[in-house]
Amino acid sequence: MQNMNVRDKQQALQEFLLKLARLDTDVTEKNLEQYIFTLQDIYADDFRHLYSGMFGVITRIDADNDLDKAKLQGNIQILYESVVRWRDEGRGHVTQELCDKLEKLYDHVNLEISRISYTQEIAQRMEDKNRKSGEEIKLLSEKAANMQKDYITILGIFSSIVITFVAGMVFSSSILNNIDKVSIYRLTFVIILIAMMLFNLLNLLLDFIAKVNMKPLAVASKISDKKKEPQRSTIAGINLFLFFMMIVDLALWALYWYRATSFNTFTGY
């Protein structure tokens, strides 16, 4: 390496750093002398490495899976400490000039690694913030889209109640106007029948609103999915109860009719 020019030495130094960054490279007492002699050859003839060249080397190491920045830091630290020790012990013709140049190399490498790591950390933070912002925007968009459905649901429920109430008032007025013209059994039967019709009409309207909003009835009514079956059972139970009341009313009317008919027949006989 004695006849290398500055450009060749710069290239040799970069290749030397890449070798130190390999995952399978370990600076030990067995190969320490070889590495120090290589550095002596590179830094001979007052060679000064270019600080600008360190960025390209560290970037290349960071992009290669077979190379590691931490490995480079560890190996070059061992070399620097060993060169200083050799200088103090007077071994291998290590000079103060070599120690100073290796110290600058060690400092420049660590500085570039720290800068690249910090840049990557900032980029990762920005990516996390962008991802979080995207999720929040998506959530807000979904909420905004659901607000229209919620408004339709609220308006629909209110309209259903009003329609049912008005229909009930109309039927009730008709019944009250003719209350003196029919028997108590017919009146009771009609009232129960109207109650069943209005109850099922209200449920049909609410179910229709839920389907329009592409939600199950349990969700539209703020009821969890686990309560769907109990809700349906409640609706069916109310219908069965009203139907049972109608049967009882018919039975009482039949009994009344039977007694009245039997009494008239007996009297006529």
Question: Residue 151 domain-assigned?
Answer: no
Residues 106 and 207 in one domain: no
Residues 115 and 50 in one domain: yes
Higher-confidence residue of 168 and 69: namely 69
Quick check: 45 pLDDT over 70?
Answer: yes
Domain total of the chain: 2
Cβ–Cβ < 8 Å for 92, 36: yes
Question: Residue 170 domain-assigned?
Answer: no
Cβ–Cβ < 8 Å for 184, 252: no
Q: Could you tell me where the DSSP H helices lie in the chain? A: 6-20, 32-42, 52-63, 69-89, 96-177, 184-212, 217-220, 228-268
Q: Which of 76, 101, 132 is the last residue of a domain?
A: 132
pTM of the model: 0.52
Q: Which of 132, 167, 190 is the last residue of a domain?
A: 132
- Count of CA atoms in the C-beta half-sphere (13 A) of 26: 4
pLDDT digits (tens, 9 = 90+) for 143-173: 877 777 777 777 777 777 777 777 767 766 7
Buried b (16+ CB within 10 A) or exposed e, 125-160: eeeeeeeeeeeeeeeeeeeeeeeeeeeebeebbeeb
Q: What's the domain range around 208? A: 178-268
The residue-averaged pLDDT of 6-25 equals: 89
User: What local confidence, expressed as pLDDT, does residue 216 receive?
Assistant: 46
User: What local confidence, expressed as pLDDT, does residue 268 receive?
Assistant: 46
Residues 237 and 127 in one domain: no
pLDDT digits (tens, 9 = 90+) for 214-233: 554 444 445 445 555 666 67
Residues 29 and 120 in one domain: yes
User: What local confidence, expressed as pLDDT, does residue 241 receive?
Assistant: 87
Cβ–Cβ < 8 Å for 69, 61: yes
- Which residue reads 């129960």 in tokens? 192
Residues 122 and 183 in one domain: no
Cβ–Cβ < 8 Å for 36, 76: no
